[in-house]
Each structure stands twice: as C-alpha cells, then as structure tokens.
Structure 1
Amino acid sequence: MKSPRKVVIAGIAAFAMVGALAACSSGGSESGKTELRVATFPPGADAAAYEAFDAQEKQFEKANPDIDIIGVEYEWEGPTFAVQLAGGSLPDVFTVPFTDSKTLLENGQLMDVTDEIEELGYTDSFNPVILDGVTDSEGRIFGFPRQAYAMGLHYNRTLFEEAGLDPDSPPTTWDEVREDAKVIADKTGKAGYMQMTQNNTGGWQLTAATVARGGSTQTDNGDGTYTSTIANDGTKASLEFLKELRWEDDSLGSNFLLDWGSINQEFAAGNIGMYTTGSDIYTALVRDFSLNPDDYGLTVIPIENDGGTLGGGDIAVVSPTVDEQTKAAAVTWIDWFYMQKLLNEDAAVLDAKTLAESDQAVGTPLLPVLNREAYEQSLVWIEPYINVPRDQMTPFIEGIWEQTPVGEPKGKTQEIYALLDPVVQAVLTDQNADIDALLAQADEEAQALLDE
C-alpha cells in the first residue's frame, strides 16, 4: 500500500489530522483521479497483510484507473469511535459492527446506498436478517453487510496437551469448560479460561454467555421500544460461572481488565487456555497478534436450556460527508473488495490467491452473509488456496449448523454493553460481590437508557 500517505486512526490524536483529512472529502487529487480513503487493518498488523493489500490495491486501480486508493489504519472501538466520527477523522469507507449500524443510520451518520446496491443487482441475495441491520423504516439501505460470525469457544491446543487434555476433544458443556480450565491452570500455571471485561466487550461477552444459557438481556416489543431483561437466570448463571472459576478454582489468571485486543494478544502469546469470541478471530490472531497456527483450536460455544449462539458481524459503509464522485468510487471499491468474492468465482479465486501468496489466512470459518449454499460454493472455489488449519476447527465447522443463531440486542446496544462491563469486573475482583444486586441495578440503568 502507499505507506508514505498512510493515515493512522488513533483516538484523540487523530484530531491533529482533521484539517488535512477533510480536504480529501471532495475526492479530487492533483492527478485528476478520485482519491478514496479506505479502512485497512488495526495498528500492529504484520507486514504480510500490507503486502497483500498492496497487491489488491494495484489490481483494483488497474481495473479502475480513475480511482486512487489510500489505505487508512482503522480499528473500531466503542469508546473512541464516536470521537473519530465527530472529528471527521474516519476514512471514506470503513466498517461498523451490526450493533452500531441502526443507531448510526438513524442519526444520519451513514450514506444511503440503496440505489447503488439495487443497480449492482444483489439486494435480494443478502440474508434478510442481516440486511435488516442497515435498513431503515422506509426500506432504504445504508451499508453493505460484508462479514458475519457466530460465537465460538477458542482454545489453545498446546496448553491442552501440556495439561494432559485431548485437544481433539474440547469441552462441550460449561461444566467441562470449568473442569478443563482448572486442569490447565493447575498443570501449566496459565489462565485456563478468561473473558473480556472492558471497553464494551465485557457486556458483549456476558450477553453471549447469557444467550448460550437460554437467557436474553433485552426484549424487542415490536413497536420501537425495548424492555431490559438483564436480571435473568442465564445472565446470573454466567456470572456465577465466572465467580466459581475466579474464587473457587483460581483458573482465570491475574489480569481482569481485558478487551478485544488485549485478550487476543494474551491468547496468541499462549497465556490463556480458552475464551469466547467471534468465529472469525483466527485471521486477526495470525495477522495482528502473531499466533502460532499449531496452537489454535475452535469449537462451538456450549449451549444449555435451549440457548443459542450470539451472532454478529460488520457492515462496510460510506461516510455521509463525501461528495457524489467519492461516493461512486466508494461503492465501486466496496463491491470489488468486499462483495464480489462472495458472489463471483473469478473474484473469489483472485482474492484467495492474492491473500495466500502473502501468507494471509484463507478459509477462516464464518457465517454466510448471503446463504449457506452460496457460502459453501465459495469454499469450493477457493479450496486450493485454503491455508487455515480447518481440521483444528472441525468441532465448530460441523457443529455450528446445529446451533440457533441469535442476533445482538438492538436497543442502545453498545451503551448497555458498556454498562455491563463493571458488573463483570466486580464479580472478578470482589469475592463478596452480590450478583443479584448488580443485575438489578444494571437492569434499572439499562431500562433508563432504553426509555430515553
């Protein structure tokens, strides 16, 4: 990629660049081409990732010589995204989680791309449940669903072996997770299990654990209003589980302030035996956190009481501040970079071949943005280039279709996730934490947010 012009998005520091970036919003350049600033990877991605992006950038610009791609380092984080958005420091094309898309489109912070998607001809190809996340009450569409995942249980095969456990037979129940976590902690001195706790991720994973146990943190009333149901048996059982691992088993290690980035770093470094997160994390673990692929294992999250697996994903969107010329370039890029590899054999093969030649992950398990048949067909197209250890992910690949996917709560999602962070932290840092009282308070505060 064009490293001399690479823009780093980094919280408040990004404000220093607002003036320069705003000048790009008109889309013009001295060469007469349309300059398009597009999100690439989080800071810290390995050089091979940028080599692959550079190759893809050249392929795109050869096919679209009137567009000049400028890569921008980007990582969505709940606490800093609003600052970046308000400051105008986001790229022209970036991605947001499903959970943020409804709020952003309602606030007028996403570009309407309905006509462009219809012109491309694949509006009806999307999974309607996923497309709903970027569709307003009038049926207008504000983004391109580009990737989806289901929650999975990720585990370190090497730590399993060191603890005398069989990495080909990962736990299938929460009781077995607890048992294996204690064995790993006792035999290796590493955290047998851990869970995210801050920057909205504590609430996110607590919600995932709740859903897996048959609970729900929120009810959609069907009329645009929501009722908080945080104080339910599933959430209580999830916190009791953490409390037992922390205070009875001592199997959670000693770092109780982890978010998406830091727990991935600890896992990749071999310091955590098991944790839950999206099924697509393998790519980032290898690309951004230097995971040894031999260490990695993936299985489905344990389900009980008719629970399901929390699903999610992200949307490729266009900044609402760009002009029509830049918008057209943005849609062309999104279609080429994100969508065609899901729809077209030649595009899928080119994408997989380019990534594989730069040692980037190809074949990481996902949920289909379109439909299962299209997803499985795409795996056939790229089979020669698949380089992820799918045999180490077999329990997930075979088991995920038997689980019921459950969407994330729609009302004030990120705000309520943030509200739940300290609840998880309290259980892990205070042996006498009153779980019932914590949940009752969180329920009250969440309802107040929903009633705003």
Structure 2
Amino acid sequence: MKSPTKTLVAGIAVLATVGALAGCSAGGDEGAADGKTELRVATFPPGADAAAYEAFAAQEKQFEKEYPDIDIIGVEYEWEGPTFAVQLAGGSLPDVFTVPFTDSKTLLENGQLMDVTDAIDKLGYTDKFNPIILDGVTGADGKIYGFPRQAYAAALHYNRDLFEQAGLDPDNPPQTWEEIREAAKAIHDATGKTGYAQMAINNTGGWQLTSQTVARGGRTQTDNGDGTAESTIDNDATKAALQFLHDVKWEDGSFGSKVDLDWGTINQEFAAGNVGMYTSGSDIYTALVRDFGMDSSIYGMTVVPMEGDDPGTLGGGDIAVISPTVDEKTKAAAVTWIDWYYMQKLMDKDAAVLDAKTLNESGQAVGTPLLPVLSRELYDESQEWIADYINVPVDQMAPFSDRIWDQTPVGEPKVKTQEVYALLDTVVQKVLTDQNADIDALLAQAQTDAQSKLDE
C-alpha cells in the first residue's frame, strides 16, 4: 500500500500533469487559428498514477514533433458498459477512444463508429491483422470500423504472497478448478482473506461466467452466421461454473463478503492484497500497477483450467475508434495518431523500441503477455525488439506464457453481447447471495430471457 504522503505527492504530480494537458487544451484555440488540428484523445482511467501521465506527455511531445500540425489533447477515459451509450450520444467522448470487441458490432450497426476502411488499406496493413480479430471490427457491409490494437486471453491471477502464507507453491499454481477451490480454502483458512473472488456487476459477472463456461467446454451462444444467434446458456458447463461459485461461497466460506465487484473494484481489492485469486483478461497487470498501486512482487498469473470435450480460452480486447461526428480534417489527424500511438509499435522495430524505452523510463509496464493482434510471428519478433526494456516480472507470469499457446482461443458471443452479460449478472449475484438458489431454474429462465433479446 502507498503511504498517505506518497499518495498525496503522487496526486499533486498527477494534477500538475493534468494541468499541463489542460494547458494544451486551453492553447488549442490559438493553435486552431494557426492551422493546427486539435485532436482530443483518450488517455487513462481516472486515478492513474503520475508516471502514466508523464509517459503520455513524453509520447505526446514525440508525436507533435513529428506532426507539428496536430495538437494532441489528452482526456481521461474509462469504458463502462452501462454508461457508454449515454456518453457517446451526449458527445462527451474524445475524438479517439477505445471500446471492447464485444461492443464494436453493436456500435457499428448503430452507426456510432467511423468507417476507416480506406485509411487502413492506405496504411497497408489490412492483411496483416489476425483474421479472427479483424472480424470484430468488420461490418455486414464488409467495411472496417476500427483498429484492433490489443487482445487478451482469459487468465487466473493470483497473489503469490498469500499462496506462501497458506503453504502453497506460487511457482506451481492450480491447474484444475478443483485445485483452485482447494487453494482458495487454504488461503482463507490461513490468512482470513478472500481465497477466490469473482466479478458480478456491470456486465462483468456475465462476462466471467461466459469465460468459465467456455473453459469448461460449453458455449452460451451459437452464431447462425447471418447476424442472428441461438442462446445456449442452459448447458452443463455453465451449470458447473455456477456450482463452483456456490461451493466456494457457501460450503467452503472462501469467497469473502464482497459479492458486488466489477472490473475496477476487484482489481482494487486484489492490488490491496485482499484477494487470493480471480479470473480476468491477461492484460490487467499494467492497470494493477499503474492505476491501483499493486506491489509487483505479489503478482502471479496462470492459464484458466480447461476441462470438457471442447474447452477454450475466451479472448477479447479493444479497438481504437474514431467518433463518427468528427470532420474529415480531424478524422485524418485521428488516423495519424492511431497509427503512430497504437499500431506502429506492433509492426515497426524503431517504433516498438521508442515506445518501450519511453514507457520504461517513465516507470510504466513493458512486456505484459498479450495475444497477437497481428501474426504470432510478428508478435514474437516484437518481443525480441523490446527485450532490453521489458520490466514486468516475466518469471511470475511464466505459468501463463508457457501454456497459453496450447489453449484454443474462442471469441466472445457476437449478438447482444453486453445485454446478455447483464442478464447473466443477475444469475451470478443470485448464486452468491442465496445459499439455496436453484441453479437449474436460474439457467432455464436466463435461457428464455436471452433468446428473447436475441430475437428482438
């Protein structure tokens, strides 16, 4: 944990940096009069540490030196499913921002994303994308509506310090769901801390239930290939995932008292050392350190256990997109920024090294394991380019890195994704708050409700 003094100093530093960014905005009007294009771009969620803003400021300076006709204005930003549509409709989003793969289909169908097909073709890397990932930003019209910039796989994150206190080997984390349950009880019995936690609100409960269904060989939705889908929530794998939660909570007492966690709050609890294990995307190490102040020495990551006849690891990620309301001049500037800030470091050695060096010198994480947005070969090559600047505890992530390539990636459900996730939130919450919850009845009702949404 940070001391109050360090937190105050960090807060002052962040405010100073934000003030500098705001200064760019205040001076932007004059810049616009001189022919500069002001571009409002997403930076970090509220609460990011001073080092994150320092790194962004350094990158902003590098970009503006190369493109002096564009004035970058950083805007704090965090995607949240329940409020995103309101922000977008109200025009309060930046010109360039990021959205999860799961929302891209709905947003582009609603005309809420900018067509960037010509820009991607002109840049010459349309064919370099992983086809599965590119599909997430391709509309029914065949046009591309965003730049896939980061992908992740499902992972089990665990606290190495709590493992040791419980007599567990942090270098040999659980490899089955039953071993996770046993480790959770050992942690809780030895430390009094939550052995295992799970997200349950703001669509994250449905997200993780879907992830664990896939890991157990099931699927919650079948894609018909024509924009429609069939709900398959009521299956043995989903039932097993809910039974696991019931048993950890009610039979073992290892779950803890907090059953209303989402992405932000579960990260906060884990970073503070209050949670032994939880599942999420493999990309969260940066946020845990940067936004939640985690001591990197406690961190461990491994793959999610696979079981059943057709198991897989639920993949996801986000895309850089452009607001559909911007004019052509701003769109051109936005494409230039996305290419420079997000894309070039994935495919160009000089850009990759500059990005890694800048982040490293600002104390930001470099080398967190991800799934390749482009080819695996290019991803592996890029890791070699930045080897001198990788500063994350790769040995503590080895249980994930060594095994993830043996797992089959599975994309998230494509139709009414977030709406169905919201439905499943209530199922997860019921199991975690009612010891006598009827899982079969809950799944049957969720199946009916989900299909009604898919049929709309």
Contact 1:27 1:35 in 2 (8 A): no
For residue 284 of structure 2, the aligned residue among 281, 284, 300 is 281
Matches within 5 A, 1:299-378: 299-305=302-308, 306-378=310-382
Mapped partners of 1:260, 1:97: distance in 2: 13
Q: Deviations over 1:64-92 (max 9, x none)?
A: 00000000000001011011011100000
| Identity score, percent | 76
Per-residue CA deviations over 1:218-256 (Å, capped at 9, x if unaligned) read 011122210001110010000000000000000001100
Pair 1:158–1:402, CA change in 2 (3 A):
same
1:206-226 Cα distance to aligned partner (Å, 9 max, x none): 000100000100011122210
Work out the CA distance in 2 between the residues paired with 1:29 and 1:252.
55
Aligned counterpart, 1:16: none
2:299 is matched with 296
Q: Judge conservation of contact 2:279–2:304 (CA < 8 Å) in 1.
A: yes
3-state secondary structure, aligned to 1:256: coil
User: What is the match of residue 4 of structure 1?
Assistant: 19
Point out the more displaced range, 70-79 or 134-143. 134-143
Cα deviation 1:243-295 (Å, max 9, x = unaligned): 00000000001100000000000000000000000000001000000010000
Match of 1:387 in 2: 391
Aligned residue for 1:63?
A: 66
Query: Quick check: 1:418 aligned with 2:433?
Result: no
- What whole-Å deviation, never above 9, does each CA across 1:40-87 have from its counterpart, x for those lacking one? 000000000000000000000000000000000000010110110111
Structure 1 residue 138 displacement after superposition: 2.5
SS for the counterpart of 2:170 is coil
Which of 203, 209, 223 is 2:206 aligned to?
Answer: 203
CA displacement 1:325-355 (0-9 Å, x = unmatched): 0000000000000000001000000000000
- In 1, Cα distance between the equivalents of 2:333 and 2:31? 11
Contact 1:154 1:297 in 2 (8 A): yes
Output the CA distance in 1 between the equivalents of 2:19 and 2:225: 50
Q: 1:178 is matched with which residue? A: 181
Q: Tell me how far apart the structure 2 counterparts of residues 27 and 314 of structure 1 sit (CA, whole Å).
A: 34
* Equivalent-residue separation in structure 1 for 2:243 and 2:57 (angstroms): 48
Q: Secondary structure at the match of 2:403?
A: helix
- 1:136 counterpart (134, 139, 149): 139
Q: Distance in 1 between matches of 2:208 and 2:30?
A: 39
Deviations along 1:397-434, one digit per CA (max 9) or x if unpaired, are 01000000000000100011011111101001001100
- Once residues 81 and 5 of structure 1 are traced to their aligned partners in structure 2, the CA distance between those partners, rounded to angstroms, is 27
Shift of 1:28: 7.4
Moved over 6 A (4+): none
Whichever residue aligns with residue 79 of structure 1, its letter is P
SS in 2 for 1:205: helix
Q: Which residue of 1 aligns with 2:435?
A: 431
CA–CA distance in 2 between the matches of 1:101 and 1:121?
A: 22
3-state SS of the aligned residue for 2:32? coil
**TM-score if structure 1 supplies the norm length?**
0.95
Q: Which residues in structure 2 correspond to 1:212-251 (within 5 Å)? A: 212-251=215-254
TM-score in terms of structure 2 length: 0.94
Q: Which runs of 5 or more residues in structure 2 are unaligned?
A: 1-15
Query: Could you tell me which amino acid in structure 1 is paired with residue 18 of structure 2?
Result: S
Give the number of aligned pairs. 437
2:171 maps to which of 145, 168, 179: 168
For 1:316, give the aligned amino acid.
A
SS across alignment from 2:38: strand
Q: Whole-Å Cα distance in 2 between the matches of residues 73 and 64 of structure 1? A: 22
| 1:253-272 map, 5 Å | 253-272=256-275
Deviation of the 1:163 alpha carbon? 0.7
SS of 2:378's partner is helix
Residue 118 of structure 2 aligns with which residue?
115
Contact 1:27–1:322 at 8 Å: present in 2 too? no
Asked if 1:441 corresponds to 2:449, the answer is no
CA contact (8 A) 1:27 1:323 kept: no
> In the alignment, what sits opposite 1:401?
405
